[in-house]
Structure 1
Amino acid sequence: MGSRLPWTVMNPNAETPAPRSLPRLHRAVVEWYGREARDLPWRAPDRTPWGVLVSEIMLQQTPVVRVLPVWTRWLQRWPEPTDLAAASPADVVRAWDRLGYPRRALRLHAAAQRIRDIHGGRVPEDHAELLALPGIGAYTAAAVAVFAFGQRHTVVDTNIRRAHARLFTGHALPARSLTAAENRLAEAVMPEDVAGSVAWNQAVMELGALVCTARAPRCGQCPVRDECAWVAAGSPPAAEKPRGQSWQGTDRQVRGAVMAVLRAAQDPVPRPLLLTDLAGSEQLAAGHSAPPDVVVERLGALWRLDAPTEQRERALAGLLADGLAAEEPAGIRLPG
C-alpha cells in the first residue's frame, strides 16, 4: 500500500515524530480492523449497493445501534430501489420510525425514484452520477463508490477526521466544519492502490468509531499509538470542548413528538390536538372519533412536553414546509 506523500511533507514543521512509514501505518490499522471490526450487515460479502446506500443515509448523525433494526426491516420491505420508489411517502416516513431527521427518508425515497427513472433501477457506480442523486452529498457519494463499488475516493466522515487530526496533526479534535486542508490530508495519506485505499478508508473509519473516540479515547487499544502525533505531544486537550446536541425543550424535540403522533395515526389528526393540550379532551369528545390508544399515548407525550403553543405551531409549520406532513380539512397527516 504505497502513498505518494510522506506525512512530513504534509506537516514539515511538526514537533512531534512522524510515522516511520505510511505503509507500516496502513498495515497496522488494516490488520487491527481485520481482528476488531464490527460485524455489520452492510459490510457483509453479500451486501448490495442499495444496502450500502441506505446504510450511509441512515448512519448520518445516528448511532449504529439505532440504525441496525431499522435498516434490516427496511431492506426486507424494500430490497431494491424500485421497491422503495413505488412506496408512498407516508409509508416511507413511518418506516423511518424514530431514527431522527426524517427528511432523510424523503430524500432517500426521491433518490430511489431517480435510480428507477434514470438508472434502470440500479444504483449508479459513477461518482458523479451518485452525487447527482437527491439528498446525496460529497461524503455519501464517495462512501458508496468506495464501500459498494470498491473505487478509490477520499472518504472523510467525523470518525476519520478525528483519527486523522490526532494521528497526523497532533490535534485532539478536528475543526467544527470540514476544511480543504483535511481533504488534502486524507488524499495524501491514503494508499495509492485501489484495494489498499478501500481497506484503509474502512479501517480508519472503524478506528475512529471504536478507539479514537471524541470522549475518553482508548489509546491503550490503538494499533498505532506509538505513531500518533497527539499522543507524542502529551495528548493535549482540545481548544474547545465538543458540543453535545441539545434536545430537551428544542423545536427538534417538539417536531419529533408531532411526527410520532402522525406516524401512529391512520387518519388525519385535528390541528387543535397537536397545538394545545387544553383542547385535547374537548376535541376527543366533540364529534371526533376517538383515536387508537397508541395515538392517544403519543398525544399525551406531546402534551407533557409543556411546549408553548407558538413553539408547537412553529414545529408544525416546519414539518408542513419540509413535506413531512400535509394538511387537509380534517386535520394533519403524513404526506402522500
Structure 2
Amino acid sequence: MEPEHKRKLHARINGWFAENARDLPWRDPECSPWGILVSEVMLQQTPVVRVLPVWHEWMERWPEPAALAAEPSGEAVRAWGRLGYPRRALRLHAAAAAITEVHGGKVPDTHAALLTLPGVGDYTAAAVASFAFGRRETVVDTNIRRVHARLITGNALPSQSLTAAEMRLADSLLPDADAEAVAWNASVMELGAMVCTARSPRCEECPVLSNCAWVQAGRPEPHYIPKGQAWHGTDRQVRGAMMAVLRQAEGPVLRELLLTGPVDLGAPAADSSLSPLGALHALSAPQEQLERALAGLLRDGLAELSDAGVRLPA
C-alpha cells in the first residue's frame, strides 16, 4: 500500500475515533496499567456491557495487584460473577501474585516481560504494552481482523483463526510513531466493535467507506459460515450453574447436593426466583453430566473437594 494511502486511512479512522469513541473507564488517562490489564482479560469473549460493572467492583476491591494477590484465589473466582470462562479469574490472580512477587507490585511495561505473567498471551501482552504504556505494538483482536479483512482484502470475515498473513497485514498498517500506533490500535478496534460489526455492519457510518475493498466488490458473502456456540444443555451451562452455587455458598457444599439428579421444581431454570442450587437442579442434567461438570471444575482448579464438601479454591 502506498504511504499516502495509509496516511489517509490513519487520519480518517483515528479522526472518527476521536469523535465517536465510547467513554470507557479503562480508556481514562488516569487508569492504571493494572486496571487496563484487568479489562483486557475480562473483555476476552465477553461484551463490554457485561464487563463494566464487574470491572468497577474489582478495581474498587483490588485497586493494585498486591491487594488481589493477598486474597485466596477463590475470592477472585467468586467476584468474577457470571462473566464466563472463570479460569480467567484464576489467571488474573496468578498474574497479580507474579506482579507482586517478581515485579515489585508494578505491571511490567514491555511485551516480553508481560508474556512472563501467568495467563498472558501475545494479544494481551501487546494490548497492555500499547494501551497502558504507549508502546508501538501490533494489537490484533477479532474486531481489528474483521476491519482489515473487509477494508483491505475484500473478505466479509477474517479467517477462522489468526494467520501469519493477517499478522503481516496488521504489521504493515501500523503507523510508525508510537502515539499514532496506540491511537490506531484503539480506533480500528472500536470501528470493528461499533460500525464494522460481524452481522449488521453500518457501512453508511464508516469513515473509510469509499476505500473499502469489500464494499467495492459488492459485499460478497462470507467464505464460511460462522458457527455459534451452543449453550443450553451443554456441559458449559451445567458448569456455570454449579459455579453459581459455589460462589454464593459461605462454606463447603455437600457433593451430594451438587450431584442430585433432576428435581421437578415447577419452574424453568431461567426463573430468577430460583436459588442457584434450584437453578442447577432445574436444568434436569443427567447424573453423568453433573459428575462430568464437577470433575472438570476440580481439574481446572476452580473448586476443591474436602471431607466437608466442595468449595471455591482457598
Q: Classify the TM-score, shorter chain.
A: over 0.9
Aligned 8 A contact 2:155 2:214 in 1? yes
| CA displacement at 1:278 relative to structure 2 | 5.9
1:322 and 2:300 aligned: yes
Among residues 2, 8, 19, which one is paired with 1:6 in the alignment?
2
Partner of 1:335: 313
Aligned 8 A contact 2:262 2:283 in 1? no
Aligned 8 A contact 1:263 1:334 in 2? yes
Task: Tell me the distance in 2 between the aligned counterparts of 1:331 and 1:117.
Answer: 32
Partner of 1:301: 279
Moved more, 189-198 or 108-117: 189-198
- Cα deviations by residue, 1:216-266 (Å, 9 ceiling, x for unpaired): 100010000000000000000102122212111110000000000000111
Q: 1:267 to 1:223 in 2, by over 3 A?
A: same
Task: Tell me the distance in 1 between the aligned counterparts of 2:188 and 2:264.
Answer: 52
Task: Tell me the distance in 1 between the aligned counterparts of 2:252 and 2:156.
Answer: 50
Q: Say which SS state the counterpart of residue 97 (structure 2) adopts.
A: helix
1:94 and 2:78 aligned: yes
Q: 1:241 to 1:159 in 2, by over 3 A?
A: same
Task: Tell me the distance in 2 between the aligned counterparts of 1:44 and 1:196.
Answer: 17
Residues 163-174 of structure 1: pairs in structure 2 closer than 5 A: 163-174=147-158
Partner of 2:201: 217
Aligned 8 A contact 1:261 1:295 in 2? no
Residues 75-224 of structure 1: pairs in structure 2 closer than 5 A: 75-224=59-208
Aligned 8 A contact 2:264 2:282 in 1? no
Partner of 1:264: 248
TM-score by length of 1: 0.89
| CA displacement at 1:314 relative to structure 2 | 0.5
Task: Tell me the distance in 1 between the aligned counterparts of 2:307 and 2:32.
Answer: 43
Q: 1:28 to 1:59 in 2, by over 3 A?
A: same
1:254 and 2:232 aligned: no
Q: Which amino acid aligns with 1:324?
A: L
- Cα deviations by residue, 1:37-93 (Å, 9 ceiling, x for unpaired): 000000001111000000000000000000000000100000001111101112111
Moved more, 315-324 or 192-201: 192-201
Task: Tell me the distance in 2 between the aligned counterparts of 1:208 and 1:301.
Answer: 36
Task: Tell me the distance in 2 between the aligned counterparts of 1:82 and 1:275.
Answer: 36
Q: Which amino acid aligns with 2:284?
A: D
Q: Which amino acid aligns with 1:6?
A: E
Task: Tell me the distance in 2 between the aligned counterparts of 1:279 and 1:332.
Answer: 20
- Cα deviations by residue, 1:110-145 (Å, 9 ceiling, x for unpaired): 000000000000001021110110000000000000
Partner of 1:44: 28
Task: Tell me the distance in 2 between the aligned counterparts of 1:76 and 1:6.
Answer: 47
RMSD: 1.7
Aligned 8 A contact 2:145 2:166 in 1? yes
Q: Say which SS state the counterpart of residue 88 (structure 2) adopts.
A: helix
Aligned 8 A contact 2:262 2:286 in 1? no
Task: Tell me the distance in 2 between the aligned counterparts of 1:114 and 1:56.
Answer: 17
Task: Tell me the distance in 2 between the aligned counterparts of 1:84 and 1:296.
Answer: 31
Task: Tell me the distance in 1 between the aligned counterparts of 2:313 and 2:45.
Answer: 24
User: Greater relative contact order (Cα 8 A, min sep 6): structure 1 or 2?
Assistant: 1
Task: Tell me the distance in 1 between the aligned counterparts of 2:235 and 2:164.
Answer: 32
Residues 225-240 of structure 1: pairs in structure 2 closer than 5 A: 225-240=209-224
Task: Tell me the distance in 2 between the aligned counterparts of 1:240 and 1:64.
Answer: 27
Task: Tell me the distance in 2 between the aligned counterparts of 1:151 and 1:188.
Answer: 16
Task: Tell me the distance in 2 between the aligned counterparts of 1:278 and 1:106.
Answer: 30
| CA displacement at 1:280 relative to structure 2 | 10
Partner of 1:15: none
Q: Say which SS state the counterpart of residue 173 (structure 1) adopts.
A: coil
Q: Say which SS state the counterpart of residue 327 (structure 1) adopts.
A: strand
Number of equivalent positions:
308
Q: Which amino acid aligns with 1:305?
A: L
Identity of aligned residues (%): 63
Q: 1:295 to 1:129 in 2, by over 3 A?
A: farther
Partner of 1:53: 37
Q: Say which SS state the counterpart of residue 310 (structure 2) adopts.
A: strand
Q: Say which SS state the counterpart of residue 243 (structure 1) adopts.
A: coil
Aligned 8 A contact 2:150 2:213 in 1? yes
Aligned 8 A contact 2:262 2:285 in 1? no
Q: 1:308 to 1:117 in 2, by over 3 A?
A: same
